Amino acid sequence: MGELFDPLFGMDAVAAATGDRAWLAALCETETALARACARVGLIDAPVALEIAAACEEAAAGDLAELGRRAVAGGNPVIPLVDELRDRVAKRAGEDASAAVHLGATSQDVLDTASMLITRRALDVLLPDLAACADACADLARTHRDTPMAGRTLLQLAAPTTFGALAAGWGSALDRGRARLSELRSTLPVQLGGAVGTLSVLHPNGLDVLAAFAEELGLAAPAAPWHTDRTTITELAGALGTSAAAVAKVAGDLVMLAQSEIAEVQEARPGGSSAMAHKQNPIAAITARAAAAQAPGLVATVFAAAAPELQRGAGPWHAEWPALTGLLRATGGAAARLRDSLTGLRVDAAAMASNLAALGDGSGTGHSGEFVDRYLAGRRT
Amino acid sequence: MGELFDPLFGMDAVAAATGDRAWLAALCETETALARACARVGLIDAPVALEIAAACEEAAAGDLAELGRRAVAGGNPVIPLVDELRDRVAKRAGEDASAAVHLGATSQDVLDTASMLITRRALDVLLPDLAACADACADLARTHRDTPMAGRTLLQLAAPTTFGALAAGWGSALDRGRARLSELRSTLPVQLGGAVGTLSVLHPNGLDVLAAFAEELGLAAPAAPWHTDRTTITELAGALGTSAAAVAKVAGDLVMLAQSEIAEVQEARPGGSSAMAHKQNPIAAITARAAAAQAPGLVATVFAAAAPELQRGAGPWHAEWPALTGLLRATGGAAARLRDSLTGLRVDAAAMASNLAALGDGSGTGHSGEFVDRYLAGRRT
Amino acid sequence: MGELFDPLFGMDAVAAATGDRAWLAALCETETALARACARVGLIDAPVALEIAAACEEAAAGDLAELGRRAVAGGNPVIPLVDELRDRVAKRAGEDASAAVHLGATSQDVLDTASMLITRRALDVLLPDLAACADACADLARTHRDTPMAGRTLLQLAAPTTFGALAAGWGSALDRGRARLSELRSTLPVQLGGAVGTLSVLHPNGLDVLAAFAEELGLAAPAAPWHTDRTTITELAGALGTSAAAVAKVAGDLVMLAQSEIAEVQEARPGGSSAMAHKQNPIAAITARAAAAQAPGLVATVFAAAAPELQRGAGPWHAEWPALTGLLRATGGAAARLRDSLTGLRVDAAAMASNLAALGDGSGTGHSGEFVDRYLAGRRT
Amino acid sequence: MGELFDPLFGMDAVAAATGDRAWLAALCETETALARACARVGLIDAPVALEIAAACEEAAAGDLAELGRRAVAGGNPVIPLVDELRDRVAKRAGEDASAAVHLGATSQDVLDTASMLITRRALDVLLPDLAACADACADLARTHRDTPMAGRTLLQLAAPTTFGALAAGWGSALDRGRARLSELRSTLPVQLGGAVGTLSVLHPNGLDVLAAFAEELGLAAPAAPWHTDRTTITELAGALGTSAAAVAKVAGDLVMLAQSEIAEVQEARPGGSSAMAHKQNPIAAITARAAAAQAPGLVATVFAAAAPELQRGAGPWHAEWPALTGLLRATGGAAARLRDSLTGLRVDAAAMASNLAALGDGSGTGHSGEFVDRYLAGRRT
């Protein structure tokens, strides 16, 4: 939503990683990598590739609004960017050199590949936050392995458990979320297929260019172009949704446990109110929930867009860009705010004991300690 | 998504109406209106209200990023804005005057009321675009009342109809969408309830302040605060979703009719390609579809957030802001791009006749002309 | 989900109104009405219409599974139903008479019209439940107009309010939800357009048949066929989503107020547990929330399906059936369970007073009583 | 939607696997497995476990409607089922034996474990259909490795490709979808935690019972109870959504290629119409799209429910049941109908050649053959 609202949703860092300037940089980086790949395969001269790289570097600092206006006519920013790059290269190295820009590629190649770069950058912001959240939960589980508290089912006092067992469940979900995202991060692929996915312009060197292009960007080289197979995007969306849900669970529980009537946890820096001076709102957890609440609808949007028509979707493809970007921001924001909430969290074991006493159930905490141990042991492997 | 992508999704105008600066302006306008309302009721002195208004005008031009950073602690931008306004008023008119800022209100009052102002502004961008689309459809229906074409069901050639009948169906849906949005626009309410919705600080003058506050902003005065009743928001979301769907239907049909193999319509300014010079992509319709495709998931997000806990939701309330903003942008963008698509649309009656001839069905076009007449007559009432 | 789960989600009555047998009945009722309408206009003989009506009555009691199997080939149950009706009529009154079955109509006409009948029946189950919920809230608001309780914002104790004010907010949302549904119920239209919406087979009598058809069924006669304009369906979906959200808000608050640590309300018949004998779970409110939670995703599905291709969608049209049916059930189930929750609800004013005392805020309840009065007065008009 | 509509959406087999009777069987199988596990660990006598198993077998054939009615009071069917099982065991083997029923477990343990059994059964219906679809695509890719066709981007004729390359992209997405589902299928875990997840009643034998319980059912034994960690469910939902999207892509393309104006493919048994005898509707693909279109909204519902409060959600948990069931049916139905569509699909290479000739682009099909080879080679590993 911009600089007025992004910070409170924890989205400022991930918004920077996925913003206009980052997209332009990713588009330019992709064109540079393509030129280098073509040079390595011998399709263009090395000095021309250097000129293209220089032009890309200039273009990456260009006027976003102007490029945005010029993107309207063709429906994507790659078309005017390629025009601009060709102009720049022509000025630097002559008309002939300009033909080497964007060689054999189509807009979707550049946009899809750039979206993988954007995803990687966003995950590099998001995953450390998720890891910090998970580590904080592991610390809570360890510290409070044997801290008894009342378990609440259907929001009614139920039977004794430990705060450690609850925190272990939180951490377990967060770990599963980030394990999947890490796995997907390590296999993010380039896309390169040319007009309809045959790489005909680069034939018979297309497979070599594809491999070199992937190496240049540190992305995976797919067996074949995936312009029509959007499972790369849907698996990302599903994994982001799982991580957002894992965050929402922890944040929701923190909000519940911080209720005035329960008061078993308190954030280190609770929020105030414009009307009530005494309020101690667990505002980081609250805004983590709000950020995470954006995710399910965005996941649905990505999934609904995942059946583009034939060789390139007439709308579905374009619909992915804001939805995937929004999903990275929602999940990233949620993780960042949950990290804030968990950092320095005050756990009031005495309040837990007191609330448990009200339940009057002396049945003990069973295997909760062993479950914590198993969870912690599972993290070390 | 920012200035690089917003224009191609038609979202630039509506993004400006719903962006950070617009939100800050709306928040400031709300605080000004509250001060004026309190002055009219005699709770604060008129000169103090003028100072508050002046402070609000200054604040509206303030540093968004700085305010955004200060919004993190309390989870909304109203808290630091009120602090800032009090400082400004204290400097202008003394400590005592500063107490008149935000009198009797809570953050939610200001944010919810500002969201109604934002909605009104966005609708004032969106509704003319929707109206232009509907008018264009009406023109097409009138012009092509008797232009025969092949009807296609399940994407198979089926039986004769007219382009006028198809266009009438498009216009009918667009008219219904905007009728509902116009109705809701005219009843957008202020929110004013104080800390928990009792207006206790303003008691016994709260009802008078509420009425005056609404008058100041030209919004409706609700019978009671609606901080806990989010049907105002869900009805808006539903209506925006309907309008987005109406746009998606027209845009989708235009994309189908513009297919190379059908070629019955063509946009006035079709888009090119970075790889294929001959392409005549109906890019305005394509990007209208993409913008509209964001809507269903955002509607779901708004609906899922519409059950905030007790007197103010601990997450659900905050979750509304980006979702409603996103929905205004998606619907507005879709309408703007469809307007582009319909403006100057080339209808190839000969191609329609030729495709119809291939069907070889001489059963005629039945009541299609009368249906067009009825639709046009309905618009005039 | 069937008879094992439907009752606990409150969906049994609405499932019966929207189930297979009800759908078959509605399809048959539609064919009967069409035959009668054609007879009134003079297109078929009155005795033939009577034979068709008799055949429809027989068919309505037919084998659902068999018809379901025969529906696969054409993708909808109307095709085999019409075959069956023609066979039945041929046996009763000869081959010639059988040609009068389904005269001038297409499958979509019958299915869309039947879906309006199903919707009306479901609303006739749902609206009384919603009304009972709203009335119960009004009773609570009246009874507890001056019962003080602690207001809670962001789930923190905030400032004094009254239970009456909270209940008034609940009722206000429920009333708004059902007002909209009632409005839409009264304008549910028949669909009749023939193969592609021109009523060519019935020409020049199509408009008369359309009017008579609507009269027969007590549905509205649209100006033109709406096979391509799905705003009738999206407005219903939006309105159902709003009502589901209104229910979810009340149910969520009841769950919160019934928490062991708050204990300000208790259901008349709280639920037990298979493991804990002491549990007093507000199970009606809990399952109302669960039913309502199905709604946002289903609304999104309906909206995403609302752009069918050209004269009949190749998938989007069919996708509406389960989604709209599911949405009627979700909203109906939620309303039924909330009604159970509110019926005989025990409100513990002493607990409210005690929790309020813990807040230690003597600022009073301001205009809460007047807000209740305004809400109640608004209901009478 | 029941036996009238399920077959046409391909959902009959998967509906049987996930229906009421299947759920009751799964609940009973779970209680049997628990008793056996307790017997293996020595907590109950072996003959008692046999009696419980016999009672479960009887109960599995019981009256669904009656159990459904009795499930209302506690909000789930496990509570009355356990009552019934205890009654049956008491009659068979005395009061004391009846105490061995449901030993140490809570309703959620039985319901969550049963949902894993239901998921496994549904996947055992769904995965063979997905595999058949993928194999059919692989066959098409192999057969049409070098069949030239016009590639279409943004639904405009673009450049040459091959039908094999298109089919390879379809198969690639289907393979990825089922690989993920197969992976998740093989790790579906039991849930066993007792009232709040500590297994206190079974202490100190809980871990042994957990392991034996998992063995009895052939499910995985989790490190700790996952009653509060719903990532098991969200990962399933995400994977089902991906498979549904993969199906939707193929089905959508088949519908496009079967358009009258393109006519490059035709289903073996196209559907007819109630109004137009000449129609050749690709009805299996159409209804596959419709079934798949239910998925994104249901995925969103599952994700939104994945943050249950504390030790058991007061609504979110219950909301999972219909949403996950619906998602299994939607995905399973889509796969079944796509299988029908692909079985015996007629590919008209001459029509492809003719449409390609209209494009007039002699640039060749580049690396399309190698991409097909790589895809096929990847399947063999």
CB contact under 8 A, C107 and D318: no
Residue C267 lies in a domain: yes
* Buried-state track C11-36, b at ≥16 Cβ within 10 A, e below 16: bbbbbebbbbbbbbbbbbbbbbbbbb
**pLDDT-based confidence at residue A380 (cuts at 50, 70, 90):** confident
Q: What is the mean pLDDT of residues A216-224?
A: 98
**C130 contacts C240 by C-beta, under 8 angstroms:** no
**pLDDT-based confidence at residue A224 (cuts at 50, 70, 90):** very high
Chain D nearest-CA residue for B304? D304
Q: What is the mean pLDDT of residues D35-59?
A: 98
Q: Which domain holds residue C143?
A: 105-378
Quick check: C272 pLDDT over 80?
no
Chain A nearest-CA residue for C255? A155
**B216 contacts B263 by C-beta, under 8 angstroms:** no
Q: What is the pLDDT along chain B (381 residues), one digit of tens a residue?
A: 799 999 999 999 999 999 999 999 999 999 999 999 999 999 999 999 999 999 999 999 999 999 999 999 999 999 999 999 999 999 999 999 999 999 999 999 999 999 999 999 999 999 999 999 999 999 999 999 999 999 999 999 999 999 999 999 999 999 999 999 999 999 999 999 999 999 999 999 999 999 999 999 999 999 999 999 999 999 999 999 999 999 999 999 999 999 999 999 999 999 877 777 677 899 999 999 999 999 999 999 999 999 999 999 999 999 999 999 999 999 999 999 999 999 999 999 999 999 999 998 988 999 999 999 999 999 987
CB contact under 8 A, A249 and D242: no
Structure tokens at A146: 């044997």
Cβ-Cβ contacts under 8 Å, C69 against chain D: 7
The pLDDT value given to residue B342: 98
Distance from CA of D379 to the nearest CA of A (A): 11
Distance from CA of A56 to the nearest CA of D (A): 27
Quick check: C274 pLDDT over 80?
no
**D49 contacts D100 by C-beta, under 8 angstroms:** yes
Prior bond of C204 cis (ω within 30°): yes
Residue A5 lies in a domain: no
In order of B123, B231, B233, B243, the CA distances from B182 in angstroms are 8, 17, 15, 11
The pLDDT value given to residue B24: 98
CB contact under 8 A, D287 and C102: no
Residue B1 lies in a domain: no
pTM of the model: 0.98
Q: What is the mean pLDDT of residues C361-372?
A: 95
Residues in chain A: 381
Distance from CA of A155 to the nearest CA of C (A): 6
Per-residue pLDDT reduced to its tens digit, D136-177: 999 999 999 999 999 999 999 999 999 999 999 999 999 999
CB contact under 8 A, D20 and C8: no
CA distance A288 to A247: 7
Subunits with 3+ Cβ pairs within 8 Å of D are A, B, C
* Buried-state track D44-82, b at ≥16 Cβ within 10 A, e below 16: beeebbbbbbebbeebbeeebeebbbbbbbbbbbbbbbb
Subunits with 3+ Cβ pairs within 8 Å of A are B, C, D
In one-letter notation, the amino acid at residue A6 is D
Quick check: C381 pLDDT over 80?
no
Residue B10 lies in a domain: no
The pLDDT value given to residue B19: 97
CA distance A25 to A110: 12
In one-letter notation, the amino acid at residue D205 is N
Active site residues of B: 273, 312
**Least CB-CB distance to D255: which of C5, C68, C315?**
C315
Instruction: Give the DSSP H/E element, type plus range, for residue C24.
Output: helix C20-41
Cβ-Cβ contacts under 8 Å, A255 against chain C: 154-155
Mean pLDDT of chain D: 97
3-class SS of residue B220: strand
**Least CB-CB distance to B310: which of C225, C256, C365?**
C256
Distance from CA of B61 to the nearest CA of C (A): 30
* ipTM confidence score: 0.97
**Least CB-CB distance to B315: which of A201, A293, A325?**
A293
Which residue(s) pair with B161 in the sheet?
A: B149
CATH code of the domain in which C138 resides: 1.20.200.10
Instruction: Give the DSSP H/E element, type plus range, for residue B267.
Output: none
CB contact under 8 A, D296 and A297: no
Q: Which of D36, D86, D312, D337 is catalytic?
A: D312
CA distance C209 to C108: 17
Per-residue pLDDT reduced to its tens digit, C63-72: 999 999 999 9
- Eight-class DSSP state of C271: B
In chain D, % of residues over pLDDT 70: 99
Mean pLDDT of chain A: 97
CB contact under 8 A, D274 and C77: no
Residue B85 lies in a domain: no
Which residue(s) pair with A153 in the sheet?
A: A156, D312
Per-residue pLDDT reduced to its tens digit, A263-286: 999 999 998 777 776 778 999 999
CB contact under 8 A, D151 and A310: yes
CB contact under 8 A, A256 and C153: no
Best residue in D261, D266, D273, D283 for a mutation probing chain B (most B CBs within 10 Å)? D261
Cβ-based neighbour number of residue A222 at 10 Å: 21
Residue D16 lies in a domain: no
Cβ-Cβ contacts under 8 Å, C8 against chain D: 68, 71-72, 75-77, 318
The pLDDT value given to residue D1: 77
The pLDDT value given to residue D362: 85
CB contact under 8 A, A7 and B71: yes
CA distance D68 to A275: 49
Structure tokens at B164: 């006028």
CA distance D169 to D332: 21
Subunits with 3+ Cβ pairs within 8 Å of B are A, C, D
**Least CB-CB distance to B259: which of D155, D273, D304?**
D155
Residue B235 lies in a domain: yes
For chain C, how many structural domains are there in total? Answer: 1
Residue D30 lies in a domain: no
